[in-house]
Structure 1
């Protein structure tokens, strides 16, 4: 099932946005970002991985499916949306959803990749980064990352070798959900607006060959 947020007028771009490991496609964060992007002219299609769809049916919490199954789901959703839209098509997602998209972006030949809170490593395991494929990524990529994200803060990420195709946009004093410390004087609303603006500007520079 696809959940669409469409602009009032013609869409400038389409973004397939996957959820993170623990929250569904219609979590407050996902709803908020999809609405903000649609208001800026970007059509957003959301979906759920099999384990999350099963949870919706019976209410039981489950761990994510094995990676191969998650990637196959991404392939199927991409093919479905590609049949429905014209113009530039980007993929991405929140945390795990974005990481799975990053593993397929080059193979799928998408126009862009957008990641919100990229899990560069598991919490407490900075010594085991999950970034090898990011060194050679060719797809134009935007990562929106909180400066104090426990899965990849600014200092830690600075030590990684990332492809020149990747632009990391840092959000001040923000965590994995892009929420800033109250002491920073910044608000979550401001950061979500900044993220939506950055994504829209990034996509506006992407043109389908």
Structure 2
């Protein structure tokens, strides 16, 4: 099934929706990137094949042509109406909502998971700290998700390696850097398994 392009709350959303989707996965991009990175596309293909609806969200600042995201508070405020609008679409209200993204997008998803009503979070290449600056930890943002979280991190990522936790699984991709361009099949399979897992389905 071909995806549809939607304009929602100043964001641009590419929604791929298989028949009778059993979950809704909403993913967004890194700070200066878009929604057509290799990892997001691999996850899209695997998700649709597994009966998961997936929305890839180009955030408003990127739609406006800016490469640098706004501060966390306005960025989060722009993200939440997009997720809420997708949730209101027919057939999505009663399936698990999983939010996530890569890099800066993962930070947004973690910070807003509770407010968005997400059942779980997928954090791709979570930037635990700026390269070479481990003292500038963003672990508090990852912890703020407050729900089951899957982190997918390359073992060569200069932004650090997040720790596993009671509600957090960390999949380490050998040979991958911050782009997660290696191990695409592994990443996509892990995300699908997580979204369809009993621990996520139980949180509808």
Q: What TM-score do you get using the length of structure 1 for normalisation?
A: 0.82
In the alignment, what sits opposite 1:38?
A: 48
Residues 133 and 31 of structure 1, relative CA distance in 2, 3 Å threshold: closer
CA distance in 2, matches of 1:91, 1:100: 9
- In the other structure, the counterpart of 1:115 is 123
Matched, 1:63 2:68: yes
Aligned match of 2:4 = none
Unaligned runs of at least 5 residues, structure 2: 1-6, 8-12
Distance 2:71 2:178 in 1: 23
Post-superposition offset of 1:64: 1.1
| TM-score, normalised relative to structure 2 | 0.83
SS in 2 for 1:41: coil
Q: Which residue of 2 aligns with 1:185?
A: none
Query: Shift of residue 175 of structure 1?
Result: 0.6
Report deviation, 1:34.
1.6
Which of 17, 31, 34 is equivalent to 1:6?
17
Mapped to 2, the partners of 1:10 and 1:4 lie a distance apart of 14
Kindly report the root-mean-square deviation, in angstroms, between the aligned alpha carbons of the 2 structures: 1.8
Count residues with an aligned counterpart. 187
Deviations 1:32-67 (A, max 9, x none): 332232122221112222220011xxxxx5311221
The 10-residue stretch of structure 1 (22-31 or 40-49) with the greater mean CA deviation from structure 2: 22-31
Matched, 1:202 2:190: no
Task: Point out where structure 1 has 5 or more consecutive residues left out of the alignment.
Answer: 56-60, 180-187
Q: Tell me the distance in 1 between the aligned counterparts of 2:37 and 2:114.
A: 28
**CA distance change for structure 1 residues 175 and 165 in 2, over 3 Å: closer, same or farther?**
same
Which of structures 1 and 2 has the bigger CA Rg?
A: 1
Asked if structure 1 preserves the Cα contact closer than 8 Å seen for 2:103 and 2:127, the reply is yes
1:137·1:163 contact (CA, 8 Å) conserved in 2? no
Q: Aligned residue for 1:18? A: 28
